[in-house]
Amino acid sequence: MFTNENQNNPNGYNSTKDFVQITIAPDFLIKYNPSRKRVLQLIASGWSNASIAEDLNFSTKNIESITTMLIRIAKIHDANGHLNPRARLVAKCFHAGKLKYLPSQEPPNELLSEDQTATLLLVAAGLSNKTIGRILSISEKTVESRLNNLFLQFGINAKANKIINPRLRLIATANARQNITQEAFETVWQKTNNVDLEQVVNNPAELKEAVLKIAANLVEEAPNHRDNAARKQQQQQQQSQFTQRPYINPAHTPGLYNRLATPQQQQAASNRPNPPSYPPPENRQ
């Protein structure tokens, strides 16, 4: 069940941490090691290493070691600092169909600007802040500023790093709420996977144009998507109200009758003689 992160905790995060629901393919490469699958699932949900360690009763160092192993299994290599390793791991598994974000029951959060959406697309593809800045022709500080604004809009407490990983939680929430569609992600992924990222960031015009075009389409479709999601949620709530039948305790029916009966009916009931009482069979002569 999806809940708002601010709903249960005034500090801006849900104490249960498991706020974004994600399934993992049963035929995954690491299917013979349940702990690795669980770690990957919680990474993709935006949990921090400390939270994952608490869930599995492991040490934080063990979780870091498992994460490093997962990154190596996924064959994520980055000598020039163009990638965020954990985010790229999640993106690669998501693209391969090994991870699936379950659709949220709540409408998408605040409507995003075109610049915010473009930044979010590149974050979801697992690129680093420095690389995102070079692709979008903005400074790294501007990227960080946009991310901080996105954290605020999605209700993510970026300072709660012992509970969640803000960047991964942002990716998870955006995917679950469908602020980033599968088609949009696929297009950006194809342009950033199996390519020389150094060459891309040195000549970013083509990728920048493509990302801004995708972002513009997402921004244009967002109001309709949000309205449709809200309408669907309202219909589901109405249907649940009709299907719920009230339970009446039989012991309470006399009091219920008295509240519903007219004064004449109540008077007639009070004048009605009580039925005769008989002693128990063992006391009869």
Per-residue tens of pLDDT for the chain, all 285 residues: 223 333 333 333 343 455 677 887 766 655 558 888 899 999 999 999 999 999 999 999 999 999 999 998 888 999 899 999 999 999 999 998 889 998 776 666 668 999 999 999 999 999 999 999 999 999 999 999 999 999 999 989 888 878 999 999 999 999 888 889 899 999 999 999 999 999 999 999 999 999 999 999 999 888 777 777 667 767 767 776 656 655 566 666 666 666 666 677 667 766 766 666 666 655 555
Query: What CA–CA distance (Å, rounded) separates 141 from 112?
Result: 19
> What gap in Å lies between CA 131 and CA 82, rounded to an integer?
5
Query: What distance in Å separates the CA atoms of residue 43 and residue 123, rounded to the nearest whole number?
Result: 15
Nearest to 210 by CA among 147, 129, 135, 113: 135
Helices 166-176 and 140-153, packing angle to 10 deg: 60
Task: Report the predicted TM-score, pTM, of the whole model to 2 decimal places.
Answer: 0.74
